[in-house]
């Protein structure tokens, strides 16, 4: 009996040692990756990696920044990030967090970011070379409200057409929903690229109808953002060839 207990203790000790060893290996790997990423970001920021010095900003006409709501309270980090984007030549940015923290800080952000103004939706295509820096502020509640308003618009339109034609079997298509969203002023342009700041590797509820052809990149925590990493992310996007289905 005593031998059996001793063997169990040895087995448990062995498993603990294996766990500690694996944890050390994984931690060391991520530490090395972090060091390499920081060094690369520094080299990009200093201009030593020349391929990153010339960005094709024409490929990024509309960029979205998705931030975890807990990190969205760090207004200074958001302002600095926007200033970086403006210096690169980005002219239109959408700021999103699920709880609307960024919308509450809208006035502060607009005052601190040079030449910033609120984005106004129009039927005209975006002009990359326009003067100024336009910002759009949205949250999860905007998406829910948009769907509700579009659905109401479609139902009223269907009721009108049913009374005129007598056909009550009309179904709603994706294109009709898109047109309804535009009709109620909730369409908005589709971002070419979404940069997600926070622990979650997802778009955190960004309106789904606006990301049909959008590239999504996870950038890590906002507090650890780096200028070089931002340049690299935009550069990688501009080098990707996008194929659109019919």
Give CATH superfamily name and number for 56-143+186-239: Decaprenyl diphosphate synthase-like (3.40.1180.10)
Q: Of 246, 222, 226, which is closest to residue 234 (Cα–Cα)?
A: 226
74 φ/ψ angles, rounded to the nearest 5 degrees: -85, 80
pLDDT tens digits, 181-227: 665 455 678 899 999 999 888 888 898 888 888 999 999 999 999 99
> Residue 188's pLDDT is what?
72
Residue pair 222/67 in contact (Cβ under 8 Å)? The answer is yes
- Round to the nearest angstrom and report the end-to-end CA distance of the chain: 73
DSSP 242: P
> Residue 128's pLDDT is what?
47
Which pLDDT band, with edges at 50, 70 and 90, does 30 fall under? confident
pLDDT tens digits, 230-241: 999 999 998 876
Burial 96-116 (b: 16+ CB within 10 A, else e): bbbbbbbbebeeebeebbeeb
> Residue 203's pLDDT is what?
84
Residue pair 237/60 in contact (Cβ under 8 Å)? The answer is yes
Domain segments of the chain: what residues?
1-53, 56-143+186-239, 146-177
């Amino acid at each position: 009996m005593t031998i059996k207990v001793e063997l169990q203790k040895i087995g448990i000790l062995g498993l603990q040692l294996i766990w500690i060893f694996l944890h050390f290996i994984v931690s060391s790997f991520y530490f090395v990756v972090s060091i390499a990423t920081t060094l690369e970001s520094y080299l990009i920021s200093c201009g030593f990696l020349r391929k990153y010095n010339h960005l094709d900003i024409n490929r990024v006409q509309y960029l979205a920044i998705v931030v975890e709501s807990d990190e969205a309270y760090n207004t200074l980090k958001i302002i600095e990030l926007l200033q970086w984007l403006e210096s690169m030549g980005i002219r239109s940015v959408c700021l999103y967090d699920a709880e609307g923290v960024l919308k509450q800080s809208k006035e502060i952000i607009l005052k601190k970011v040079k030449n910033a103004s609120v984005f106004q939706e129009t039927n005209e295509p975006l002009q990359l070379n326009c003067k100024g820096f336009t910002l759009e502020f949205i949250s999860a509640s905007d998406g829910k409200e948009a769907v509700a308003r579009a659905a109401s618009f479609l139902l009223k339109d269907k009721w009108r057409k049913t009374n005129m034609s007598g056909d009550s079997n009309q179904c709603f298509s994706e294109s009709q929903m898109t047109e309804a969203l535009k009709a109620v002023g909730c369409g908005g342009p589709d971002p070419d690229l979404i940069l997600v700041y926070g622990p979650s590797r997802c778009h955190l509820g960004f309106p789904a109808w606006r990301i049909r052809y959008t590239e999504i990149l996870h950038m890590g925590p906002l507090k650890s953002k780096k200028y070089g990493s931002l340049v690299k992310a935009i550069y990688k996007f501009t080098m990707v060839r996008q194929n659109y289905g019919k």
